[in-house]
Amino acid sequence: MKRRIRGRCWLVGDNVPTDAIVRSHLITRPMEEIRRHVLEGVNPRFPREVQPDDLLVAGRHFGQSSGRAIAVRALKATGVGCVLAESFARTFYRNAFEMGLPILECPGIGGLVSEGDVLVVDLETGIVVDETTGARAQATPIPPFLRRMLEAGGIIPIAKQLAEGTDR
């Protein structure tokens, strides 16, 4: 797991549903195709111009609606390095850690940064720095249980330890 992620930021608003991350009719298509349509109805430039390690900054309750993990998988496939949001829908939150996509809850982040700013996120301390404006924010640090999952690259590598209670 990379501790520090640096990239340009993309903005989306509150309550973005997983249906808007990956539209329903695409879920059985190859990821190469899905990737090119991620969030297109919300921020049309995003799927066309997103670069590896870019950051997605969202408002409240990001990833609501269906708990389809393919929404996380598709975001990962775009190369996004981290998602920051005021808050996440709980299934999206679980899915992200289970699939090894770093995400951070960061109150106030929406009003602090503008699209295209370069952000640096420290996953260990939760400190977010906007290099374009100098603004700083403190995200809620990732709980230890989920940090372990993220470091392992997802839930599959640690499933046996979890099930047998040998993880602690």
Residue 159 interacting with another protein (CB under 8 A): yes
Residue 43 interacting with another protein (CB under 8 A): no
Site for another protein in 6-25 (CB under 8 A): 14-15, 17, 19-20, 23-25
State both tokens at 16: 């973005």
The correct pick among 6, 65, 118, 126 for binding another protein (CB under 8 A) is 65
- Give the strands of the sheet with 55-58, arranged side by side: 103-105, 82-85, 55-58, 4-11, 118-122, 127-130, 136-138
SS3 64: strand
State both tokens at 141: 């640090």
- Could you tell me how many residues of this chain bind another protein (CB under 8 A)? 40
Cβ proximity to another protein: between 77 and 155 the closer is 155
Q: How far apart are CA 55 and CA 120, in angstroms?
A: 9
Which of 141, 140, 85 is closest to 112 using CA atoms?
Answer: 85
Q: Write out the residues near another protein by the rule CB under 8 A.
A: 14-15, 17, 19-20, 23-25, 27-28, 41, 60-61, 64-70, 72, 87-91, 94-95, 98-99, 143, 145, 154-156, 159-160, 162-163, 165
